[in-house]
Structure 1
Amino acid sequence: MSTFSRVIELPEPRNDESRKIIHIDMDAFFSSVEERERPSLRGKPVIIAKHPRKTGGKGIVSTANYIARQYGVRSAMSAYEAYQRCPEGIFIEGNYAAYQKASAQIQSIMKRYTDMIEPMSIDEAYLDVTENKHACCATQIAQHIQRAIWRELQLSSSAGVSYNKFLAKIASDMKKPSGLTVVPPTKAMAFIHSLKVEKFPGVGPKTAAKMHDLHIYTGADLYAMEQLDLIYHFGKAGVTYYRRVRGIDHRPVCIHRERQSVGKEHTYPRALVAEGEVREALKKLCQEVHVALGRVRKKGKTVVLKVRYRSFETYTKRVSVAEGMDDKLLMFRYVCELWEEIGQLSEGVRLLGVTVTNLMCVEEEPLSLFSCLSHMRA
């Protein structure tokens, strides 16, 4: 028995296997929309970013299609590194309006089957089909939606089906592209135990490294850990890991999202006219937005820069990425890239604003007893 388990015992959480949840995740969404609009791109490596030869080596990759990924190109990679890895890649700046339109069309298809839809971002959503409009099983509905999206929009998607959000999301990523993975309650534990810990939502490189130091490499290893030991090593996230590795996730599919964006802006009494001043101000704004995102446990796929000059002319510019963004340094890199596109120091900057939109939830649950137990980590 764990040392901490002898001090206090937490009640074992109960599971709910009665729901039918689908997670739909579009495959390389931005690049797929571009390939649909320009069929000549199909079969070629497509990278959503400005070509570094046009920007002096600057810029960041929003996403890349699966062919480009075979060269090692990934979201948030510098465009210059992407070019080095894949010099034959076709660089496209991207068309956010087209992506939004396609996203709305996809949601219209989903609504044929249920109104219980929670869009997590522009290219993914959860559906609760426990009760649905066609009295179909969840697997059939997922298949119908995938086929309709392909038939009507010529876009491919992957789907995961299970009894909660956690399992459905992991399942949707198992057989990309165009895959369908079903995890019924009877197979959930075997499925979870076979996963590498890196597959668990919320387990990034730093957390994975810490788990490895504790000899936790798979779901089976994580399952063997005591709940209070996980709290000791990982804080309140330890409770989430304890529940998830037991297939427990009670989060409902929420029809109404709480917030659409998180942003901060400052008006300056003296106009900023030096590059260093602007970049320092942008860094401070990114830090404030990062803190605000942490408070609401959100991350976003789109960052927006707002600039107002002494003349009161106001400009905005945005960039979207395939992965949710909650890293302040990455956010700052994107914001600086946007500044380089619309910034005019000679005009004198009176206001700067940074906003993250297209929000999605960070996989973490609150722990009511954490405040009582936090002294154990001292």
Structure 2
Amino acid sequence: MKSMYPRNGRVILHVDCNAFYASVETAYDPSLKDKPLVIAGNPNERRGIIITCNYVARALGIYTTMPLWEAKKKCPDLVIKPPNFELYRDASAKVFEFLSTYTNKIEPSSIDESYLDITDLYELGSPLEIAGQIQKGLLETLNIPVSIGIAPNKFLAKTASDMKKPMGITVLRKRDVAHILWDRQVKEMHGIGEKTAQKLNGMGIRTIGELAQADSTVLQNLIGITGVHLKERANGIDHRPVDPDSVYEIKTVGNSTTLPKNVTEQRALLDMLAKLSQSVSQRMKKKHVITQNVQITIKYSDFKSITRSRKLLNPVLEASEIYEAASQLFKKHWNGNPVRLLGVTALDVMEKNDAVKQLDLFSFEEEAKQEPLLEAVDKLKQKFGDFIIQKGSDLISKGHQNHNKRI
């Protein structure tokens, strides 16, 4: 059996739960098994967007992000369930617990996906046999269907698991990359989003094969070191290990400043909190993390310090959201004494792609619409400063203050 494993390479599995939320709902209520099912918030909400749907619904032309009214028009018998995030988290924990019976080399990449390094598990059978055992075991014990990719690295394993859904097992070797992947559009490649695809298209790179053969220096000049890594992936190269501790690497993102003098004016202190919140938000975006726990630090002129934190209902990332929590904490806990130092910290940060936001679907729509605007505002602030764009009420307030000073 050991001969079926590489001498010097690795064997990586990517385990991807199929239509996870819908599968969990079906596992909890087996009567839903053969019915078209969507997870889409309040069943009476016309303006909602579908978060996910089972494969029965997909066969009818229903897909994720489709407006709920359109899905109901396609399928009047559609079963609509509101999201139950507590149930999904519990099911996710059970899936990872099951996988841990095979190896402790597990790296969760989201609530319903994980990488396993099975290089040393040859005593349990061939890679295909182990994948089959995992797939069968999860279906029998938790009623969760999964697709599994088998490959020598994480990128190829993830790519392979996407090739056959639901309940697929796919092997993708490095030598297969050229004839399986190179004809595909770059936008189909794992790790390339719409904006990156547009940049690559703009320089004449439209297929994964063209990316694999592109000039590394040109790619780095265009999109940074990420471009070099993407070229490596396009050639089937990925040196990243399966790291069980990777989810714990970044726990906090914070920023603090010592004020040039002791400050007692609340407006000035709140303005500083806004600047700190902006800085924390920008750093979080670079790290692709979000938080559900905001903390402030106040150091007084007598050098006594306090820290206070607040758990939030939903994960946040934008500066305005962080500032809202920080300013509320400050107003509640500042004792009025002169302040020497202020700090804002995002605690217990998590990967943005792994977080599940507890939104109703109308809010989901509204936030989705705001994203391009928020990105544009961020770029302006990075180029021209934090206060290039301000609320009208803030400008009016400052105008009154300046007017009063002149009087």
User: TM-score, with normalisation over the residues of structure 1?
Assistant: 0.66
Q: What residue number does 1:170 align with? A: 159
Matches within 5 A, 1:100-111: 100-111=89-100
Give the residue type in structure 2 aligned to 1:33. Answer: V
Question: What SS is found at the alignment partner of 2:149?
Answer: strand
Letter aligned with residue 222 of structure 1: L
Given the alignment of the two structures, is residue 247 of structure 1 paired with residue 239 of structure 2, yes or no? no
Question: 1:110 Cα shift?
Answer: 1.5
Q: Gaps (5+ residues) in structure 2?
A: 1-6, 256-264, 267-272, 296-307, 334-343, 355-407
* Equivalent of residue 31 in structure 1, options 4, 10, 22: 22
Alpha-carbon distance in 1 for matches of 2:17, 2:252: 24
- Structure 1 residue aligned with 2:37, among 38, 46, 59? 46
How far does residue 211 in structure 1 lie from its aligned partner after superposition?
2.2
- After superposition, what is the alpha-carbon deviation per residue over 1:269-323, rounded to whole angstroms, capped at 9, x for unaligned? 98xxxxxxxxxx99x96x6665233333x357xx74889xxxx9x774348xxxx
Query: 1:73 touches 1:85 (CA, 8 Å); kept in 2?
Result: no
Report if the CA contact (8 A) 2:18-2:146 is conserved: yes
Q: Which residue of 1 aligns with 2:68?
A: 83
**Cα distance, 1:264 vs. partner?**
7.9
Distance 1:288-1:28 versus aligned 2 partners, 3 A rule: farther
Q: Does 1:205 align with 2:194?
A: yes
Larger radius of gyration: 2
Aligned length: 304
Question: What secondary structure does 1:109 align onto?
Answer: helix
Higher relative contact order, chain-length normalized (CA < 8 Å, sep 6+): 1
Task: Flag the 1:140–1:34 CA change in 2: closer, same or farther, 3 A.
Answer: same
Is 2:106 aligned against 1:121? no
Letter of the 1:83 partner, please give it. Answer: L
Question: Are the equivalent residues in 2 in contact too, given 1:231–1:237 (CA < 8 A)?
Answer: yes
For 2:364, the equivalent position in structure 1 comes to none
Separation of aligned partners in 2, 1:353 and 1:38: 41
| Pair 1:96 & 2:47 matched | no
SS at structure 1 position matched to 2:236 = coil
Letter in 2 for 1:73: Y
What is the Cα deviation at residue 26 of structure 1?
0.5
Deviation string, structure 1 residues 192-223 (Cα, Å, up to 9, x no partner)? 32332122222111221232233322222212
Query: SS where residue 86 of structure 1 aligns?
Result: helix
Q: Quote how far apart the aligned CAs of 1:255 are.
A: 1.6
Deviation at 1:262, TM superposition (A): 6.0
Paired with 1:246 and 1:44, the residues of 2 have a C-alpha distance of 41
Aligned to 1:293: 284
Distance 1:317 1:353 in 2: 17
SS at match of 2:198: helix
Relative to structure 2, which stretch is displaced further, 351-360 or 139-148?
Answer: 351-360
Matches within 5 A, 1:334-349: none
Aligned to 1:188: 177
Q: Is the 8 A contact 2:163 2:170 kept in 1?
A: yes
- How far does the alpha carbon of each residue in 1:243-265 deviate from its partner, in whole angstroms, 9 at most, with x for none? 11121110001021334766789
Equivalent residue letter for 1:102: A
Give how far 1:234 is off.
Answer: 2.2
Is the contact made by 2:43 and 2:82 (CA closer than 8 Å) also made in structure 1? no
Identity of aligned residues (%): 30
1:98 Cα deviation (Å)? 1.9
Partner of 2:223: 234
Please name the residue that 2:214 is paired with: 225
Structure 1 distance, partners of 2:20, 2:62, is 18
Give the one of 51, 63, 86 matched to 1:73.
63
Give distance in 2, aligned partners of 1:98 and 1:183.
Answer: 33
- Residues 289 and 355 of structure 1 are in contact (CA less than 8 Å); yes or no, is this contact kept in structure 2? no
Greater helix share, 1 or 2?
2
Change (3 A) 1:137 1:355: same
Equivalent pair of 2:49/2:68 in contact (CA under 8 Å): no
Amino acid at match of 1:22: L
For the residues of structure 2 that align with 1:249 and 1:132, how far apart are their CA atoms?
21
SS at match of 1:170: helix
Secondary structure of 1:175's aligned partner: coil
Is 2:124–2:130's contact at 8 Å kept on the other side of the alignment?
no
Structure 1 equivalent of residue 147 of structure 2: 158
Local SS of the residue matching 1:161: strand
CA distance in 2, matches of 1:60, 1:288: 32
Query: CA 1:185/1:228 → structure 2, altered by over 3 Å: closer, same or farther?
Result: same
1:50-101 superposed Cα distances (whole Å, 9 cap, x missing partner): 22635x84x5544332344454432xx3xxx621221244332222222222
- 1:40/1:350 CA distance change after superposition, 3 Å: farther
In the alignment, which residue of structure 1 is the partner of 2:373? none
CA distance in structure 2 between the aligned counterparts of 1:306 and 1:185, rounded to whole angstroms = 44
CA RMSD of aligned residues (A): 4.2
- Which moves more between the two structures, 86-95 or 156-165? 86-95
More displaced, 111-120 or 39-48? 39-48
**Unaligned stretches of 5+ residues in structure 1:** 1-15, 271-280, 320-325, 340-344, 363-378
Amino acid at match of 2:13: I
Instruction: Determine helix, strand or coil for the equivalent of 1:131.
Output: coil
State whether residues 160 and 172 of structure 1, in contact with CA within 8 Å, keep that contact through their aligned partners in structure 2.
yes
